[in-house]
């Protein structure tokens, strides 16, 4: 196991005036054994950053260290990392056992040790009964476990996950998230996990990097990122539904954007006057979509509260200790 240090890491494609910079000076210290999620929308630079750590992309500027070694000029095979991809990348003609053992055989590990490592990984991932099957005989979730098992048997210093759950349905994704959490508790290996899914980020991360336009907008625990977003982008990206961001709300100061999460707006006898557009029932909660002047406001209530009718007028009051303010020009938290 090992720590990871990123120092002003930059990635650009091309040279001179036509160069396209896609990662802008990312710096972070990741402790030995931490599980870090890199989250952001498509095209934000998160997979490129992961691939630079892996050695699959060259670094344009900056420095990446794994443990006590600067790895900028090391080949992927020399970095002591194992990667799990979105598409599983299993050999279809090989059994599960042989897929998991292949890298060890190439490294000339003794057959007895290979069997011991594969059996141990298969037990952790509960795929022991499938070791003689071919990948085509497995479900998507089982194939992903095989891909994780192939990484585990390498006994690397660092795990790198590149959107490994994207091909799974919602139920399997939730189940596999639990398995990854259990896996990290048992192995304690430093892990970087890339996803565009904020639910995955919130549930898996010990700390998360929120990326936008190649910039790391915030690096913190899920609680810090959700409760004290550093920018309007983080406020709008993390949370479903997103934080309400209002330019013209009562109490908003000139040049400031007022932020309030939907669950921190209470329906009250007086307060902000809102026009109800629609109501969504989502099991144990309701989402009430309203207009405050020309700005959209979402209120989250529980199922026991009466639902207002679309077209009606209601009043709401934000909880004072849950109001956020951002600079309207920079988008940064005030």
Indicate if 101 and 28 belong to the same structural domain.
Answer: yes
CATH number, domain of 30, equals: 3.40.50.300
- Report the share of the chain in percent with pLDDT over 70: 100
The candidate with the shortest Cα–Cα distance to 209, out of 197, 199, 223, 194, is 194
Last residue of a domain, one of 194, 219, 234: 234
The predicted pLDDT at position 140 comes to 85
Indicate if 261 and 134 belong to the same structural domain.
Answer: no
The predicted pLDDT at position 220 comes to 98
Whether 199 and 176 have beta carbons less than 8 Å apart is answered as no
In the structure, what pLDDT confidence band is assigned to residue 78 with cuts at 50, 70 and 90? Answer: very high
* Assigned domain for 158 exists: yes
Indicate if 22 and 119 belong to the same structural domain.
Answer: yes
How many domains is the chain built from? 2
* Structural domain boundaries, residue 268: 257-327
In the structure, what pLDDT confidence band is assigned to residue 165 with cuts at 50, 70 and 90? Answer: confident
Q: Tell me the CA distances in angstroms from 38 to 101, 129, 259, 290, one per residue in order.
A: 29, 34, 24, 33
Indicate if 77 and 172 belong to the same structural domain.
Answer: yes
Q: Most confidently modeled of 102-106, 160-164, 262-266?
A: 262-266
CATH number, domain of 271, equals: 2.40.50.140
Indicate if 90 and 227 belong to the same structural domain.
Answer: yes
Does the pLDDT value for residue 251 go beyond 80?
Answer: no
Residue-wise pLDDT tens digits, 116-142: 999 999 988 889 999 999 999 998 888
In the structure, what pLDDT confidence band is assigned to residue 160 with cuts at 50, 70 and 90? Answer: very high
Distance CA 71, CA 65 (A): 6
* Assigned domain for 96 exists: yes
Distance CA 56, CA 48 (A): 9
CA dihedral 289, 293, 295, 300 (to 10 degrees): -30
The predicted pLDDT at position 124 comes to 87
Indicate if 263 and 191 belong to the same structural domain.
Answer: no
């Amino acid at each position: 196991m090992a720590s990871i240090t990123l120092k002003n890491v930059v990635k650009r494609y091309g040279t001179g005036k036509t160069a396209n910079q896609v990662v802008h000076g990312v710096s972070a210290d990741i402790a030995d054994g931490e599980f870090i999620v890199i989250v952001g929308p498509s095209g934000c630079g998160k997979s490129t950053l992961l691939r630079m750590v892996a050695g699959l992309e060259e670094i344009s500027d900056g420095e990446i260290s794994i443990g006590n070694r600067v790895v900028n000029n090391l080949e992927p095979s020399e970095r002591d990392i194992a990667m799990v991809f979105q598409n599983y990348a299993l050999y279809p003609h090989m059994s599960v056992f042989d897929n998991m053992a292949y890298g060890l055989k190439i490294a000339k590990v003794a057959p007895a040790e290979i069997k011991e490592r594969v059996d141990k990984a298969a037990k952790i991932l509960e795929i022991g009964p499938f070791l003689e099957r071919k990948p085509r005989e497995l479900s998507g979730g089982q194939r992903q476990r095989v891909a994780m098992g192939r990484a585990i048997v390498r006994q690397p210093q660092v795990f790198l996950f590149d959107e490994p759950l994207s091909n799974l349905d919602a139920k399997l994704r939730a189940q596999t998230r639990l398995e990854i959490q259990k896996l990290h508790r048992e192995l304690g290996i430093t892990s970087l996990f890339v996803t565009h899914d904020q639910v995955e980020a919130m549930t898996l991360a010990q700390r998360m990097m929120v990326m936008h336009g190649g910039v790391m907008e915030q690096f913190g625990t899920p609680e810090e990122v959700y409760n004290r977003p550093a920018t309007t982008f983080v406020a709008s990206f993390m949370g479903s539904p997103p934080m309400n961001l209002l330019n013209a709300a009562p109490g908003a100061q000139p040049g400031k954007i007022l932020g309030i999460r939907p669950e921190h707006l209470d329906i009250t006898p007086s307060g902000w006057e809102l026009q109800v557009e629609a109501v969504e029932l989502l099991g144990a909660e309701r989402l009430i979509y309203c207009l405050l002047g020309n700005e959209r406001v979402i209120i989250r209530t529980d199922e026991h509260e009466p639902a207002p009718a679309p077209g009606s007028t209601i009043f709401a009051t934000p909880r004072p200790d849950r109001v956020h303010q951002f600079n309207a020009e920079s988008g940064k938290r005030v």
